[in-house]
Amino acid sequence: MVNNFEFFCPTRIVFGKDAETGVGKLIREYGASQVLIVYGGKSAVRSGLLDRVKSSLDTEGIDYTELAGVVPNPHLEKVYEGIRIGKATGTDFLLAIGGGSAIDTAKAIGYGLAEPDRDVWELFKHTRKPAVCLPVGCIVTIAAAGSETSKSCVITNKKTGEKRSCNSASACPKFALMNPVLTQTLPDYQTQSGCTDIMMHTMERYFTNGAKMELTDAIAEGLLKTVMKNARILHEDPDNYDARAEVMWAGSLSHNGLTGCGNSGDDFVSHKLEHELGGMFDVTHGAGLAAIWGSWARYVCKSCLPRFVRYATHVMGITAKASDEETALAGISATEDFFRSIGMPVTLSELGISPTDEEIEKMAESITDAYGENIGSARKLSTEDFISIYQSAR
């Protein structure tokens, strides 16, 4: 039976060429007077995008300050820096320019400024719940995380090696300006890591036990096939606008909750496994997901066999084998073949890391410390299971 569900996606989308040109007018609609622009650095400056944004704000008479230097696996210290700047300038709106790292940093700063007397890291440690967030808008330059339409936010505490998430509808961006042209300068590795992340956001909601909704499954399967088709195109033709547009829109739809409507929650153990890799080794998120997914999938597939069989036949085009398990395993192998075809790793060694037994145990225990025992939907997993998955991923 289809589960009851609530779908809430309040983000205003402006999609297409030159979508970013009206950013000043759009921010003015939200009553902002002091904006903190959050971005990475070289690309936004070199492309002229940052200057165009500032010119648009100047035209509307909106004051702004800048916070540059956001990095992949965005750091808590940068969030604290943004909170300090925001307090000093009276920031009332956050504008992120970039991908998930810039957007998540802006969201975390928004949390911190909304409750300036509390430590924002408490939200990511889950010792208290977020109540409010300053408004955030974004100009998307990387199709990957889907943070532009989601309630999620992930920050890394470099001092402790923890990479943790906070989820609250209050952090959903007010608007997302999405011009596929802005993604054309990305290196292929970053483009393909983004495509992998988009797929995983969908698959985390797809590989679950319990209630299903046929329409939701069809949306998820169509999204996966679309991303794979266009990832291959971009691997050979990185300037292909139509392929960029397909992937960019898929990124937003993959993580706004649409691909889980009516189903039995989600799994997201692969993400938790990767977050520990990101926190300890600072790996690229999408590549880390590709490196761990096959080991997780083989470990859980017998407990979620009908889903893996459907995925193999509906998404990967596998002809049914002698047994369901063979069909499921063929679908997993075909997915790994796809990842390799676009330059993604499918083992930790291919990712370029070699965690020791002690490091694996530490990562596994960290997951349990953060989320408890028996997590996941495809199969309930605990510390020893996490250790086994990491070990088989080597």
Question: DSSP per residue over 51-100, as a string?
Answer: HHHHHHHHHTT-EEEEE----SS-BHHHHHHHHHHHHHHT--EEEEEESH
* Tokens 């430590």, located at residue: 119
Average pLDDT of the chain is 96
* Residue 129, phi then psi, degrees to nearest 5: -105, 145
3-state secondary structure at position 157: strand
Tell me the pLDDT band of 6, cut-offs 50, 70 and 90. Answer: confident
- Is it the case that residue 200 has pLDDT exceeding 80? yes
According to the model, what pLDDT value does residue 281 have? 96
3-state secondary structure at position 293: helix
Mean of pLDDT values over 72-99: 97
Using the Cα atoms of residue 52, residue 53, residue 54 and residue 57 in order, give the sign of their dihedral.
Answer: positive
Which of 62, 67, 65 is CA-nearest to residue 33?
62
Distance CA 287, CA 144 (A): 11
| pLDDT (tens digit per residue) in 235-255 | 999 999 999 999 999 999 999
Which of 231, 248, 147, 229 is CA-nearest to residue 189?
231
Distance CA 391, CA 394 (A): 6
Q: Indicate the DSSP class of residue 321.
A: -
Within 8 A by CB and 6+ apart from 195, the residues are: 143, 144, 227, 228, 230, 231, 234, 247, 286, 342
According to the model, what pLDDT value does residue 38 have? 98
**What percentage of the chain carries pLDDT values higher than 90?**
94
Distance CA 140, CA 146 (A): 9
Spell 199-238 as b/e; 16+ CB within 10 A means b: bbbbbbbbbbbeebbeebbebbbbbbebbbebbbbbbeeb
For the chain, domains (ranges, CATH) are 12-182 (3.40.50.1970), 188-392 (1.20.1090.10)
Position with higher pLDDT, 109 vs 43? 109
Q: How many beta carbons lie within 10 A of that of residue 239, not counting itself?
A: 10
Which of 261, 230, 296 is CA-nearest to residue 3?
261
Distance CA 97, CA 111 (A): 18
Distance CA 28, CA 229 (A): 39
Distance CA 71, CA 66 (A): 15
- Is it the case that residue 268 has pLDDT exceeding 90? yes
Task: Give CA angle at 235 (142, 51), nearest 5°.
Answer: 30
Structure tokens at 51: 């200057």
Which of 62, 83, 78 is CA-nearest to residue 155?
78
Question: DSSP per residue over 18-59, as a string?
Answer: TGGGGHHHHHHHTT-SEEEEEE-SHHHHHTSHHHHHHHHHHH
Distance CA 208, CA 225 (A): 19
Mean of pLDDT values over 290-314: 98
- Is it the case that residue 1 has pLDDT exceeding 80? no
Contact 200, 289 (CB under 8 A): yes
Q: Which helix (H) or strand (E) is 6 found in, with range?
A: none
* Tokens 């691997």, located at residue: 235
| pLDDT (tens digit per residue) in 328-339 | 999 999 999 999
According to the model, what pLDDT value does residue 55 have? 96
According to the model, what pLDDT value does residue 2 have? 83
